[in-house]
Amino acid sequence: MAIRKVLKYGEPSLRQPSKEVHKVSKKISDLVRDLLDTMYSQNGVGLAAPQIGENVRVFVIDVATNDEPLNPIVFINPKIIKKSGAVKSNEGCLSFPEAYTDVKRYKNIMVKALNEHGKPFVMEAKDGSLLARAIQHEYDHLDGILFIDHCINRFAAEEVLKKYNLPDLDPDLLIEEKELEEELAKND
């Protein structure tokens, strides 16, 4: 369909919660194609609708590697229904060009959602896989949460943002995740 502009960190709409999709209409199908086209054009692993200025609960992911065929997965109105374990992950985001920092994520998750045809599905992602981390990352976008809100070291994250001329981190938006921190401390 179309390659859309990816909003950069600092755009207020990236912090807005998204609305549920009531019907998988032509408009939503077109949005899904735009998300996939845009994600692939930027060599991304995932992209959420709010990142292209559409505040609806839709994201796409493709964790296929270079030698694998494309394997896009569409999530409409997703809900994370189970989560356990903890993993430290070095993440970036298409809304934060070139900026990466360490974040806390759940190691195992289960998500239910609708696919691009409006059919419900349940998916499990385990062992801190790229898929597990990507689902959590994109899911957060739907609630106005960004990956830096999960940073392990606030000062390291601030340095990265400064290095790439991105807006400052908002300490009030950092998410306290005691259970993840305790789990990670056990693994160190």
Q: Give 50: exposed, middle or buried? Use CB within 10 Å, 0-12, 13-18, 19+.
A: buried
Summarize the confidence of residues 41-70 as an average pLDDT.
Answer: 94
Helix and strand numbers, DSSP H then E, in the chain: 4, 7
Residue 114 CA to its chain's centroid (Å): 17
Query: Do the bridges between strand 46-48 and strand 58-61 make them parallel or antiparallel, or are there none, so unpaired?
Result: antiparallel
How many alpha carbons lie under 13 Å from residue 88 in its C-beta half-sphere? 13
Q: Which of 54, 116, 138, 177 is catalytic?
A: 138
Q: How far apart are CA 120 and CA 14, in angstroms?
A: 26
In this predicted structure, the answer to whether residue 178 has a pLDDT above a threshold of 90 is no
Average pLDDT, the chain: 95
Q: Give 95: exposed, middle or buried? Use CB within 10 Å, 0-12, 13-18, 19+.
A: buried
What Cα–Cα distance (Å) separates residue 136 from each residue in 77, 162, 188?
A: 13, 25, 22
Please write the tens of the pLDDT for every residue from 101-137: 999 999 999 999 999 999 999 999 999 999 999 999 9
Taken in order of first residue, the domains within the chain and their CATH numbers are 12-187 (3.90.45.10)
To the query of whether residue 138 is one of the catalytic residues in this protein, the response is: yes
Nearest to 80 by CA among 41, 109, 42: 109
What percentage of the chain carries pLDDT values higher than 90?
A: 89
| Structure confidence at residue 1 (pLDDT) | 67
How confident is residue 39, by pLDDT bands cut at 50, 70 and 90? very high
